[in-house]
Chains A and B, each alone.
Chain A
Amino acid sequence: MASEPIVQVLGVHKFFTRGSEQIDVLQDLNLEVADGEFLGLMGPSGSGKTTLLNLIAGLDKPSQGDIWVGENKISTMSEGELARWRTRHIGFIFQFYHLLPVLTAYENVELPLLLLPLSAAQRRQQVTMALDLVGLSDRMKHRPGQLSGGQQQRVGIARAIVTDPTLIVADEPTGDLDARSAEEILNLLTELQKSLKKTILLVTHDPRAAARAQRILHLEKGQLVEKGTVSAGEPAGVARDGDTAIKEGRPAAAVPPR
């Protein structure tokens, strides 16, 4: 293994009930994500990608099984504990950015820091650093409505990294962007992973986006199928990884790259 797993999903089962009907979304799912890994998660609509992402990010709880992130068993935490845990450990990047329209870029990025015991000066330093990192320090006083889609997503990324989280989860971060902006965002994510050694979990439909990941997992009918692995720090490459996975026919429970 390249490094210790930062995420461990152990025998997770997730189902929803609609009336008397039980809908199994994830079934006996096992997954490990190494510290500093860039993992791509693909799959058709309804395959359970977002559900898995929500479970790992502590936004939902598994019906069965355990989830560990770092040293925290998040599957048994209360809602309040999860909220506090997310502040420190999770950076979430949304497809539709979801910036608060009444706040400036600076204030949007500052939002998660309000929950931490930091002075105004410390918050200012961290926000400025995060906006610098995404190349938007000159737009910090702009409201989301005054920014392009790509810029808004970069603010979203700055908001996700400003607390220096253990794990960054991105749900279709390029899904609402044109090709050029999407490329910029992917470059930024790749750079974050390389330079800051951030662990990134990326859910996407876009093969080009998935190609930036070091490892791609495919989720089908609630079970994982590994489509490709490469050595740490090296992008997966869609065609080659897909071929490899198909040839190897790996099991659903994926093991991080060694």
Chain B
Amino acid sequence: MRYLWPIERLLRHLNQTIGFKPPSSLVIGAFFAVVLLMIGITILVFPKYSSFIYKSLRRNFLRTTLASMAIMVLAFVVTLVWSILIPLDAAMTEQTKDFKAIVSERWQVPSQMPYAYASTLEEGGYTQPGDIRVKSEDSMTWSFYGGTTDPEHLSFENIIFFFAMEPRKLPTMMDELENIDPKLIERMEKQSDGCIIGRDRLKKLNKKVGERLKVTSLNYRGIDLEFEVIGMFPDNPRYNQSAVMNRDYLQRALDQYQQKTGKKHPLAEKNLNLVWLRVPDSETFSKLGNQIMSSPLYSSPAVKCETASAGISSFLEPYKDILWGVKWVLVPALLIIMCLVMAMAISINVRERRTEMAVLKVLGFTPRRILAIVLGEALVVGVLSGLISAALAYGLVHGVMGGIPFQIAFFAVWDILPDALWWGILFGAVTSALGSIVPACIASNVKVSEVFAKVA
């Protein structure tokens, strides 16, 4: 997975090896401890300058605080936006090996193919020897079933969205579910009303494993289903809001609907939303694509076969302009504003301290040392502000809210990864360094004779 960042990876490793999932407060605390330790080491290595920088920053405490708060607000927003862009970007980026192809309806969004397509599409549209035949473990079908546990008071808290699929495909086709408990899969195969729900969603629904829930469907009108929660997904931000049900349960309910009402459900012939196929390389994908798209089995409605990233991209087509604007206008604009805020604060500071810089030069401070002092001041403000804002973003969004509910394609909730903590530092450090480089150069090039001529 492309966006498995270092801290996220470490936390998952801890969870998988010793079953320990630290709360967000502990993650933030540990991160602060590491940063403070690094600051402490820096102070020990550069004790003379650290004290000087600290005292200089205290000189105009109000200005330093205001500049810091401006950086914090901007870094907070950038961190939030970044947390959405990173996984989207990863999902839309093409892989070259072992990637997945998506088969969906060609001319309609959302895709609604006949369920009859499922059996042959699962094999990649294999019809005769010489065709590519996809192995059973390398395919899965998806039908989307969404509903609410409280139709009278519809809210984000009581909405649930299921992927209806074959349970046995969970470990083979769903990313990062390779180690899911096989007993859960076995039980779900036997008990068709069993479902697996992500822990955050379960908490929001106020349910526990072993309890039952009745779902009033929002997309399959008249197909209200009752489930037993037989287990939770392993702790993973990707699945903490997700839910999976047995596809047979949905098909049976559709049949029962016909028996009960004497007519087919409106979605009975179009409830296969997606088919996923794993292919080893782009050459195989290309052949498979041709095989499926030219097959007479899938002519009405016609289907298309595209890479997962291309499929997700086409899902995101309606949001394309907004996402482009966020990525290439909003984020750069925010980063530039951060640079400018820092540049302004440091420029005022340097202008006020021109005489002081000249005195330092007289005392023997080289231009490089003066540059380092000014940059150091900006970096301290930038790094600490970035860290605080990222900690706030992570603590609030991940720890308190459990993610930002914002449905885009398959992504229903956007969580802040723990790695946002170092992103915040990075944003703060880079923007403060860029913003202060010009004022720092001005400070380091101050002409002693000119300054004192004016003072006198």
CA distance A115 to B360 in the complex (A): 11
In the complex, the answer to whether A79 meets B363 with C-beta atoms within 8 Å is no
CB–CB A103/B55 < 8 A: yes
A92 touches B59 (CB 8 A): no
Q: Count A-B pairs with CB separation below 8 Å.
A: 71
Across the interface, which residues of B come within 8 angstroms of A102, CB to CB? 55-56, 58-59
Q: Is there a chain B Cβ closer than 8 Å to A114's Cβ?
A: yes
Which residues in A have their C-beta under 8 angstroms from that of B456? 50, 95, 172
Among the stretches A83-91, A133-141, A146-154, A237-245, the one at the interface with B is: A83-91
Does A60 have its Cβ within 8 Å of any Cβ on chain B?
yes
Name which residue of chain A comes closest to B356, CB basis.
Answer: A100
Q: Is the CB of A87 within 8 A of B363?
A: yes
Chain B interface, >50% SS class:
helix
Q: A50-B456, A59-B449, A60-B449 are in contact. Are A83 and B366 (CB under 8 A)?
A: yes
In the complex the two chains form, is B362's CB within 8 Å of A57's CB?
yes
- Taking a contact as CB atoms under 8 Å apart, the answer to whether A80 and B367 are in contact is yes
Shortest distance from the beta carbon of A105 to any chain B beta carbon, whole Å: 14
* Chain B residues within 8 Å of A101, by CB: 59
Interface presence of A54 (CB below 8 A)? yes
Asked if A51 CB lies within 8 Å of chain B CBs, one says yes
Nearest CB of A to B447, in Å: 8
Which range holds the interface residue count of chain B?
Answer: 20 to 34
Judge if A94 is at the interface, Cβ distance under 8 Å.
Answer: yes
* Contacts A60-B449, A102-B59 given; does A92 touch B367 at CB 8 Å: no
Q: Mark A81-121, 1 if CB is under 8 A from B, else 0.
A: 00111111010101110101111000100011011000010
The answer, yes or no, to whether B21 is at the interface (CB within 8 Å) is no
Assembly CA distance A172 to B453 (angstroms): 13
| Chain B positions 412 through 456: 1 when the CB is less than 8 Å from some CB of chain A, otherwise 0 | 000000000000000000000000000000000000110011011
A176: min CB distance to chain B, Å: 10
Inter-chain CA distance A85–B361, complex, in Å, is 11
Chain B residue at smallest Cβ distance from A175: B456
Q: Give the docked Cα–Cα distance between A43 and B301 (Å).
A: 100
In the bound complex, what is the Cα–Cα distance between A83 and B369 (angstroms)? 10
CB neighbours (8 Å) of A50 from chain B are 449, 452-453, 456
A11 to B365, CA, bound (A): 29
- A98 and B359 contacting across the interface, CB-CB below 8 Å: yes
Residue contact A100 to B448, C-beta cutoff 8 Å: no
Is B48 part of the contact surface with A, judged by Cβ < 8 Å? yes
Interface, chain B (partner A; CB < 8 A): 47-49, 51-52, 55-56, 58-59, 355-356, 359-369, 448-449, 452-453, 455-456
